[in-house]
């Protein structure tokens, strides 16, 4: 069965400091991974997906199959990055998107 | 506005009541979903429909019944509400993306409080 683990429930980082939100997964097939973000009073929205290999709002995430990780990184945190971040894995077999438990990121001014 | 919309935004009701939450998407997507987000912010799939057909039905009590009158709507009906049903319920829709899994677009959520 697929599983997504986000070990940090809360993460506080000073503005301008680097950010790393951890995500590990377990999945027997070839995974497709996503990061979704929920800003205060807004709906959950896609931030980025690993197959796109793009940087969104300064965030990047690299799929590391050896470590089964998909950590989200940003070199310099901004106040507007404060939000709830969810890592998610898509299982092509059962067509389910499984979410991690989320990490609440707070950027300290 | 092209989006996924849900009504109501807030729902407060007594234990034992029956209630419905409505979801509509005007994105032309074929697949729609219901997720439950509990008090610890854990987000879990409940159901998904593709073109009005049930695809995913997680181990949800049968008090929960989704209904899809057409592919733009997926409503969630809950019978005999219990305290543990209190949560935020999110509707989502998706369309196939070339070369990968579907991108899901979420509604604003419905906060259900059972007293």
The CATH number covering residue A86 comes to 2.60.40.10
**A54 phi, psi to nearest 5 deg:** -115, 165
Tokens 């050896």 belong to A66
pLDDT digits (tens, 9 = 90+) for A52-107: 777 889 999 989 989 999 999 999 999 999 999 999 999 887 778 899 999 999 99
Q: Is B59 within 8 Å of chain A by CB?
A: no
For chain B, give the secondary structure using H, E and C. Answer: CCCEEEECCEEEECCCCCEEEEEEECCCCCEEEEEEECCCCCEEEEEEEECCEEEEECCCCCCEEEEEEECCEEEEEECCCCHHHCEEEEEEEEEEECCEEEEEEECCCEEEEEC
* Nearest-CB residue to A95 (from B41, B55, B100): B55
pLDDT attached to residue A23 = 97
Q: What is the pLDDT of residues B68-105, one digit of tens each?
A: 998 899 999 999 999 999 999 999 999 866 556 778 99
Q: List the single range of A8-22, A76-90, A91-105, B44-58 with lowest mean pLDDT.
A: B44-58
- B56–A94: do the CB atoms touch at under 8 Å? yes
Best to test chain B binding among A33, A95, A103, A105 (most B CBs inside 10 Å): A95
- What CATH number matches the domain at B4-96+104-114, 3.40.50.620, 3.30.9.10, 2.60.40.10, 1.10.645.10? 2.60.40.10
Asked whether the predicted pLDDT for residue B41 surpasses 90, the reply is no
Least-confidence region, from A29-33, A87-91, B95-99, B109-113: B95-99
pLDDT at A101: 93
pLDDT band per the 50, 70, 90 thresholds, residue A2? confident
Domain count, chain A: 1
Q: Containing domain of residue A87, as a range? A: 3-108
Q: What is the residue extent of each domain of chain B?
A: 4-96+104-114
Chain B nearest CA to A76, separation (Å): 26
CB pairs A-B closer than 8 Å: 50
Residues of B in contact with A46 (CB under 8 A): 103-105
């Amino acid at each position: 069965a697929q599983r997504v683990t986000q070990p940090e429930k809360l993460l506080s980082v000073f503005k301008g400091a680097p950010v790393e939100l951890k995500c590990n997964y377990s999945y027997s097939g070839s995974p497709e991974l996503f990061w979704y973000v929920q800003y205060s009073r807004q709906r959950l929205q896609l931030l980025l997906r690993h197959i796109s290999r793009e940087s969104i709002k300064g965030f990047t995430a690299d799929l590391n199959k050896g470590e089964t990780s998909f950590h989200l990184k940003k070199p310099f945190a901004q106040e507007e990055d404060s939000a709830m971040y969810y890592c998610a894995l898509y299982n092509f077999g059962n067509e389910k998107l499984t979410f991690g438990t989320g990490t609440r990121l707070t950027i300290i001014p | 506005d092209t989006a996924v919309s849900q009504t109501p935004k807030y729902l407060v009701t007594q234990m034992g009541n029956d209630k419905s939450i409505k979801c509509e998407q005007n994105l032309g997507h074929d697949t729609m979903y219901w997720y439950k987000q509990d008090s610890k912010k854990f987000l879990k799939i409940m159901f998904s429909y593709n073109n009005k057909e049930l695809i995913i039905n997680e181990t949800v009590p049968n008090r929960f019944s989704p209904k899809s009158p057409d592919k733009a709507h997926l409503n969630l009906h809950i019978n005999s509400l219990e305290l543990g049903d209190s949560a935020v319920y999110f509707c989502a829709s998706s369309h196939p993306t070339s070369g990968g899994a579907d991108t899901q677009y979420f509604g604003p959520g419905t906060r259900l409080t059972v007293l």
